[in-house]
């Protein structure tokens, strides 16, 4: 899969490196530490790494500062720049690890707060035969009445302790960033968009196996999706708020949305079984 396909999904994405990327964006709203946005444009001015200008959901121009590595640049190409492309298209970059069922042409997405165990659970599913669609951020788009998950890079990022849990040899793997004990783990992955059937949210709330399961309300489902959208501060200055709300509503209406309670106190095998039973 080409870098263009990894970053943008369906449709052509033009990616160009040159020295003419501006330091600021005229008539833009500044957000966060290094972001500028206006309708059709996002500029990421990342000190020590480079500048990234994302235009109309189809084009990324970037420059690289002296001393920055390819890995430094890739973090922002596959993070903020990719999210901007997706937001500019009125689609959803969901902060989730997404995996395809071993025998069924459908996928599930796993969301949750940092440290909730998304990657460990995803790797547990992979060892059971599920295939990776996307790690960390999943591009979701509606097509022919279905919500489709777009494939990204064919690896999952795991901290060293998680690698050791799965008996993985980190000596043969690339670190996500120099000096970081987090590694790209090559895994079996899909190469084509997959229909999304369920979204599961890892919740740290104490799990009571005797408690009656209460279905989430529409407003709760909506809140869970919106709270897990990547780079949400780009949406308003891009002028995409209405399109974004429509896209979130389409996801809520089309896929199952569930909470996995007790994510920190239950084993990955237990959580995997609940996913399998729900699927």
Per residue in 94-148, pLDDT tens?
A: 999 999 999 888 999 999 877 778 889 999 999 999 999 999 899 999 999 999 9
Q: Considering 89, 124, 140, which residue would you say is the last residue of a domain?
A: 89
In percent, the amount of the chain with pLDDT more than 90 equals 68
Q: From residue 230, how far is each of 18, 90, 163, 249 by CA, in Å?
A: 27, 13, 25, 16
Task: Tell whether 144 and 272 lie within a shared domain.
Answer: yes
Task: Tell whether 79 and 128 lie within a shared domain.
Answer: no
Exposure string over 221-241, b if 16+ CB within 10 A, otherwise e: bbebbbebbbbbebbebbebe
The pLDDT assigned to 221 comes to 95
CA distance 78 to 248: 22
Least confident of 18-27, 30-39, 78-87, 256-265: 256-265
Task: Tell whether 8 and 109 lie within a shared domain.
Answer: no
Q: Which residues contact 226 (CB under 8 A, 6 or more apart)?
A: 232, 248
Task: Tell whether 145 and 85 lie within a shared domain.
Answer: no
The pLDDT assigned to 139 comes to 95
Task: Tell whether 143 and 263 lie within a shared domain.
Answer: yes
Task: Tell whether 134 and 107 lie within a shared domain.
Answer: yes
Per residue in 202-248, pLDDT tens?
A: 987 766 665 556 678 999 999 999 999 999 999 999 999 999 999 99
Domain encompassing residue 10: 3-89
Give the distance from CA 130 to its chain's centroid: 18
Per residue in 140-189, pLDDT tens?
A: 999 999 999 999 989 999 999 999 999 999 988 999 888 889 999 999 99
The pLDDT assigned to 177 comes to 85
Task: Tell whether 111 and 36 lie within a shared domain.
Answer: no
């Amino acid at each position: 899969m080409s870098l263009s396909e990894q970053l943008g999904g369906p449709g052509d994405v033009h990616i160009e490196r040159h020295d003419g990327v501006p330091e600021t964006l005229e008539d833009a709203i500044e957000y966060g530490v290094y972001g500028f946005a206006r309708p059709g444009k996002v500029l990421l001015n990342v000190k020590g790494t480079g500048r990234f200008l994302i235009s109309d959901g189809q084009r990324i121009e970037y420059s690289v500062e002296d001393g920055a590595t390819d890995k430094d640049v890739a973090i922002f190409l596959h993070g903020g720049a990719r999210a901007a492309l997706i937001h500019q298209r009125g689609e959803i970059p969901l902060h989730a690890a997404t995996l395809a069922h071993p025998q069924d042409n459908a996928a599930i997405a796993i969301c949750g707060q940092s440290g909730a165990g998304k990657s460990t659970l995803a790797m547990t599913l992979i060892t059971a035969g599920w295939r990776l669609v996307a790690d960390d951020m999943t591009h979701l788009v509606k097509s022919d009445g279905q919500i489709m998950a777009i494939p990204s890079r064919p690896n999952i990022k795991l901290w060293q302790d998680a690698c050791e849990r799965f008996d993985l040899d980190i000596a043969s793997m690339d670190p996500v960033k120099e000096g970081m004990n987090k590694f790209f783990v090559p895994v079996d992955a899909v190469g084509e968009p997959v229909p999304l059937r369920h979204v599961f949210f890892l919740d740290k709330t104490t799990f009571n196996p005797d408690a009656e399961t209460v279905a989430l309300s529409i407003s709760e489902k909506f809140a869970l999706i919106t709270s897990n959208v990547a780079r949400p501060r780009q949406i308003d200055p891009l002028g995409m708020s209405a399109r974004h709300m429509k896209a979130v509503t389409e996801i809520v209406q089309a896929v199952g949305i569930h909470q996995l309670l007790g994510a920190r106190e239950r084993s990955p095998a237990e959580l995997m079984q609940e996913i399998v039973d729900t699927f």
